[in-house]
Amino acid sequence: MALAGFNSTPMRYFIHLAYSGKNYHGWQRQTNVLGIQDVIEEKLSLLLGKPVFIHGCGRTDAGVHAHQYFFQLEIEESWDFDFVFRINKMLPPDIAVFEIIPVTENANAQHDAIRRTYDYYLHFKKTPFLADHSTWYEGFELTQLEKMAKGANILTQYNDFRALCKRPDKVGHTRCNLSAVNIYKNKNGDRLRIEVTSNRFLRGMIRLIVTKLLEIGQGRLSLEDWENFIARNENPSFKRFAPPQGLHLSKIEYPFLNITPKREIGEWVKVVCS
């Protein structure tokens, strides 16, 4: 997008991007660690010639990736160069900007999002080409994939997930509207993708869901015990979370904006329960 001139009123934009989280301590700017927000604000400040502060659509944990992410940016000046080309030349290879989208002055990248989708990728044969963006589960035998699919469906029947929150005492409430939880396998059967869509997520929620669904797939957790675990709304003192590198923020939806994400290309087959 190439613009020129000066606006007396600041214009608000949503920036559509993706990133690999391997080298970062999550999206959020924090003290003494490097976040993706730090890198982008530094490069935007150089590009626009003044300090720039941005507001993202949400947090991601250290090591977590994003196929699709949006942040909002307000600036008064316009520009007469290709914004996307110029900022991508300045950003490191693991952060890519796709487009800059003018929005209304009250649009909010975080609070206006109505649905978020995460995918968790895992593989069962060691390969260096997946190591940074999928979790290797050595020696796993998932003999009960259909039960995993049933366990996934159980989640959509509840709306309070206190049992699946890392720190429930740190949030106002633990209710989420999970509209879909799906499990996919690849053509060779040596990779899985667990897809979860909701209006909001709790800290650590998806990585704990993955751990529990894998226990179902191994026959270590029954569907009855899984449902009881959710329904009791008791937050256990010990939690085992799936590693962060397999987790990807895949899609953000707004009432006024729904863009197909730049997702991984591959053949995936949905696991259905009979």
Q: How far apart are CA 157 and CA 153, in angstroms?
A: 7
In three-state secondary structure terms, 77 is: strand
**Nearest 5°: phi and psi at 102?**
-65, 135
Report whether 218 contacts 234 (CB < 8 A).
Answer: no
Domains and CATH numbers, the chain: 9-103 (3.30.70.580), 115-270 (3.30.70.660)
CA triple 245-247-253, angle to 5 deg:
145
Q: How far apart are CA 51 and CA 74, in angstroms?
A: 11
> How many other C-beta atoms can be found within 10 angstroms of the C-beta atom of residue 7?
11
Would you please indicate which residues are annotated as catalytic (active-site) residues? 61
Crossing angle, helix 205-217 and helix 223-231, to 10 degrees? 160
The pLDDT value recorded for residue 262 is: 79
Q: Where are the beta strands (DSSP E) in 152-272?
A: 178-186, 191-198, 247-253, 268-270
The pLDDT value recorded for residue 4 is: 41
Q: How far is CA 228 from CA 19, 112, 231, in A?
A: 37, 33, 5
The pLDDT value recorded for residue 1 is: 46
pLDDT by position in tens, the chain (length 274): 444 444 446 799 999 999 999 999 999 998 899 999 999 999 999 999 999 999 999 999 999 999 999 999 998 877 888 999 999 999 999 999 999 999 999 999 999 999 999 999 999 999 999 999 999 998 888 889 999 999 999 999 999 999 999 888 889 999 999 999 999 999 888 899 999 999 999 999 999 999 999 999 999 999 999 999 999 999 888 889 999 999 999 999 999 999 998 776 677 888 887 7
Q: How far apart are CA 123 and CA 268, in angstroms?
A: 13
To the nearest 10°, report the CA torsion of 38, 14, 59, 40: -10
Q: How far apart are CA 11 and CA 76, in angstroms?
A: 6
The pLDDT value recorded for residue 9 is: 67
**Closest to 178 (Cα-Cα) out of 215, 216, 151:** 151
- Residue 163, classified by CB atoms within 10 Å of its CB into exposed (0-12), middle (13-18) or buried (19+), is buried
**Closest to 213 (Cα-Cα) out of 201, 197, 229:** 229
Report whether 67 contacts 250 (CB < 8 A).
Answer: yes
The pLDDT value recorded for residue 75 is: 87
Chain mean position to CA 29: 17
88's tokens: 């991508």
To the nearest 10°, report the CA torsion of 27, 28, 31, 34: 10
Report whether 135 contacts 240 (CB < 8 A).
Answer: no
- Residue 80, classified by CB atoms within 10 Å of its CB into exposed (0-12), middle (13-18) or buried (19+), is exposed
127's tokens: 């390969």
pTM for the whole structure = 0.92
